[in-house]
Amino acid sequence: MAFFTHQVCRGLSSSAVRAAAIKHVTIIGGGQMGAGIAQVAASTGHTVTLVDTSDDILKKAVKGIEGSLKRVVKKKFADKPEAGEEFIQKVLQNVSVSTDAGAAAQTLSHLCFIYYNTSSLPISDIASSTNRLDRFGGLHFFNPVPMMKLVEVIGTSATSQETFDSLLNFSKALGKTPVSCKDTPGFIVNRLLVPYVLEAIRLHERGHGSKEDIDIAMKLGAGYPMGPFELSDYVGLDTMKFIMDGWNEKDPDNPLFAPSEMLNKLVAEGKYGKKTGEGFYKYK
């Protein structure tokens, strides 16, 4: 979850102008996605507070951000290493960390926008726990955040136009390409992608194709960079199952959301994909 605070430009009524004034971002959760969002926000001149309950997670997040920035400057500043090092330090100066969630909550002022980065939980359900429904919206980033250009911007029926416009313009300020979507399960990308992956698994379960052949077919026949089994291992089988279980609970009669025995078995065995060394494939 993240909070955005902005400075209102008095005398200007344009929502776009007000949205462009977003300067401060508080991100709760220092995992891979949180750290990635923090890196991108800090790299584009925003001040960032990264909040987590664990000092170890925060240290790992900052170390990960620094490592990612070094890879960026290696390409961007290949002929100017000193400029690259200066860029890294400037970005890191924009990032502060905290284990004080209470302090983060204090950012919820009348100049605050709230967004939630998820595609498996309805934004409206999360928003219902607040009394700031008009200031609540969804931004769904993609992993790895520094590389992926797309951001899905989601508004609920209660999201104000000012908030929605602010999130659109903030996404552009991060150097991303935003697309608008209603608060529907999976939004756009995952609503199409996850059922496609699950149907590939069911195809394999029925014995109609090996996982290797299905992956090759989708790469060479459809031009996809990864086959569905490779993609599942990359995303994480536990994540795939979590998303599908949530959708199935909301809409159990929808055949697109039907669970997979093979997926459930692998997750139960702790085989989540690349991050555990084994999923549909084994990794060394």
Give how far Cα 234 sits from Cα of 37, 106, 203, 219, 283, Å.
19, 36, 20, 15, 11
**CA–CA separation, 139 and 117 (whole Å):** 5
CATH topology for 189-276 is: N-(1-d-carboxylethyl)-l-norvaline Dehydrogenase; domain 2 (1.10.1040)
pLDDT in tens, the chain (284 residues): 555 554 333 333 444 444 446 788 888 889 888 999 999 999 999 999 999 988 999 999 999 999 999 998 988 888 888 888 999 999 999 999 988 766 665 555 544 555 556 666 788 887 787 777 888 888 999 988 999 999 999 998 999 998 899 999 999 999 999 999 999 888 999 999 999 999 999 999 999 999 999 999 999 999 999 999 999 999 899 999 999 998 999 899 999 999 999 999 999 999 999 999 999 999 98
Question: Phi-psi category of 198—alpha, beta or left, where left has phi over 0 and alpha has psi -120 to 50?
Answer: alpha
Q: Which residues are annotated as a binding site?
A: 68, 75, 119
The per-residue b/e assignment along 239-255, b for 16 or more CB within 10 angstroms, e otherwise, is: bbbebbbbbeeeeeeee
Of 46, 117, 152, 260, which one is the catalytic site residue?
Answer: 152
**pLDDT on residue 10:** 33
The DSSP symbol for 19 reads H
**Residue among 221, 236, 247 at smallest CA distance from 278:** 236
In this chain, the answer to whether the domains covering 2-182 and 189-276 adopt an identical fold is no
Write down the domain spans for the chain.
2-182, 189-276
Q: Phi-psi category of 10—alpha, beta or left, where left has phi over 0 and alpha has psi -120 to 50?
A: beta
Look up 119 and say whether it is catalytic: yes
Catalytic residue among 43, 46, 117, 140: 140
Q: What is the pLDDT of residue 121?
A: 73
What gap in Å lies between CA 180 and CA 223, rounded to an integer?
25
Alpha-carbon gap, residue 136 to 140, rounded angstroms = 13
User: What is the C-alpha separation between 101 and 118, in angstroms, rounded?
Assistant: 20
pLDDT in the model for residue 17: 42
Binding-site residue set for CoA: 68, 75, 119
Q: Which DSSP helix (H) or strand (E) runs through 10?
A: none
Q: What does DSSP assign to residue 51? A: E
Containing H/E element for 71?
helix 55-76
Task: For residue 140, indicate whether it is catalytic.
Answer: yes
2-182 CATH choice from 3.10.20.30, 3.40.50.720, 3.30.390.50, 3.40.630.10:
3.40.50.720
Query: From the candidates 119, 166, 171, 260, which is the catalytic residue?
Result: 119
Whether residue 152 lies in the annotated active site: yes
Both tokens of residue 142? Answer: 């993609």
Cα distance between residue 86 and residue 73, in whole Å: 10
